[in-house]
Amino acid sequence: MKTKVYFLPGTMCDSRLWLELWAELTKVDNSFEFIHLSIPVQKTIDEIVLALAEQLPEDKVNLLGFSQGGYLASAFACQYPERMSTLINLSNAPNTLPETEVATRDKIILWVEAQGYSGITLARIKTFLDVSNHSNIQIIERIKQMDSHFGQSGLLQQLKSTTVRKNLLPQLEETEFPMLFCYGDKDLLVKSETIKKLSSVNSVIRHYQFSNCGHMLPLEQPQLLAQILSNFLTQHS
């Protein structure tokens, strides 16, 4: 029987986020079953976590989340630690958002509500990528396609429901199930010292920093990420 791994995407991302990663994981180890979870459409993070609790099996799960999905996966793990086999958090430090990102989100909401939304700009996309990927057409087009799928209503709903976040770090410091945090060294949304400190206070927490990588880890470094995930899941599943 294959090991099931549940994948939660980030803001304005769908199952296309995982395509290269899943392909690379299959090459490394064909013992995994990948299950994409769309982020439930709810008004608050607490309501989203409750909806996830109803979707996920009551048995212990391997739950992986990217960016916003990483925070939501961590929130689920804090609320239902007895249902966790492993937690994998990509490109996210599960605490409150940086003030700069909150301000950016607030400006986006005001602008979109007043002017409408014609899709994510190239300038915005580049803030999520390492400079080495600023001309990577495949990654840029993938981000644009996923963004277009959700459109204006999806953007406003996701931003409004997930910007206000609790600091989950104190709870995660006390957990007993294995955790893995992966992030890029050029990720403007994740402070490496936050992850390193969390890992230092709890022996079940591992972390891996990817070189020459921005926020879009599954798209920027799928091959190396697949190897890291395979090793972690094989060890703990």
Percent of the chain with pLDDT over 90: 90
d(CA 127, CA 101): 11
Categorize the per-residue pLDDT at 161 as very low, low, confident or very high, splitting at 50, 70 and 90.
Answer: very high
The per-residue pLDDT for 99 is 86
d(CA 31, CA 145): 30
> Minimal CA–CA distance to 184: which of 108, 234, 133?
133
Average pLDDT value for the chain: 95
> 63: which strand partners?
6, 87
The per-residue pLDDT for 32 is 93
| pLDDT surpassing 80 at residue 133 | yes
Residue range 189-214, pLDDT digits in tens: 899 999 999 999 999 999 999 999 99
Q: How many residues would you count in the chain?
A: 237
| pLDDT surpassing 80 at residue 26 | yes
The per-residue pLDDT for 98 is 80
Residues 6+ apart with CB under 8 A from 100: none
| pLDDT surpassing 80 at residue 231 | yes
Categorize the per-residue pLDDT at 55 as very low, low, confident or very high, splitting at 50, 70 and 90.
Answer: very high
> Minimal CA–CA distance to 222: which of 6, 71, 25?
25
The per-residue pLDDT for 100 is 86
| pLDDT surpassing 80 at residue 237 | no
Percent of the chain with pLDDT over 70: 100
Higher pLDDT, 74 or 104: 74
Categorize the per-residue pLDDT at 97 as very low, low, confident or very high, splitting at 50, 70 and 90.
Answer: confident
| pLDDT surpassing 90 at residue 147 | yes
The dihedral formed by the CA atoms of 184, 185, 187 and 192, expressed in degrees to the nearest 10? 100
The per-residue pLDDT for 35 is 97
Mean pLDDT value across residues 98-120:
91
d(CA 31, CA 198): 30
The per-residue pLDDT for 233 is 96
